[in-house]
């Protein structure tokens, strides 16, 4: 299996890095980004390890998620690829997860 990050997910990961680099420091930002990227690697051998994302069930696209600290990696399995659609801060209102920008990926 191959992991593919959407542009939207990459943009969100960069925003998370920039936020922590500003609010804390770059060392913290690098640690959080590294943790998120490392957690995605488990999907290569265990693509179904994340539970179904209940907030996106209505889309019927079989979104799953992994938790990494305060963040959810939202992903789908498409053919032989694991497509990471979003990196979502779990401290946000879950209704933001179904925002138009998020569901087009």
Summarised one tens digit per residue, pLDDT across range 25-40 is: 999 999 999 999 999 9
pLDDT digits (tens, 9 = 90+) for 45-85: 999 999 999 999 988 999 999 999 999 999 999 999 999 99
pTM higher than 0.75, yes or no?
A: yes
Mind spelling out the 3-state secondary structure of the chain?
A: CEEEECHHHHHHHHHHHHHHHHHCCHHHHHHHHHHHHHHHHHHHHCCCCCCECHHHHHHCCCCEEEEECCEEEEEEEECCEEEEEEEEECCCCHHHHHCHHHHCC
């Amino acid at each position: 299996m191959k992991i593919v990050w959407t542009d939207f997910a990459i943009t969100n990961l960069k925003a998370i890095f920039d936020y922590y680099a500003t609010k804390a420091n770059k060392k913290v930002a690098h640690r959080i980004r590294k943790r998120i990227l490392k957690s995605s690697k488990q999907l290569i051998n265990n693509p179904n390890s994340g539970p179904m994302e209940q907030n996106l069930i209505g889309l019927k696209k079989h979104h799953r998620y992994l938790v990494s600290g305060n963040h959810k990696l939202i992903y789908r399995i498409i053919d032989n690829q694991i497509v990471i659609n979003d990196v979502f801060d779990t401290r946000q209102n879950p209704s933001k997860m179904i925002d138009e920008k998020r569901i087009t990926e």
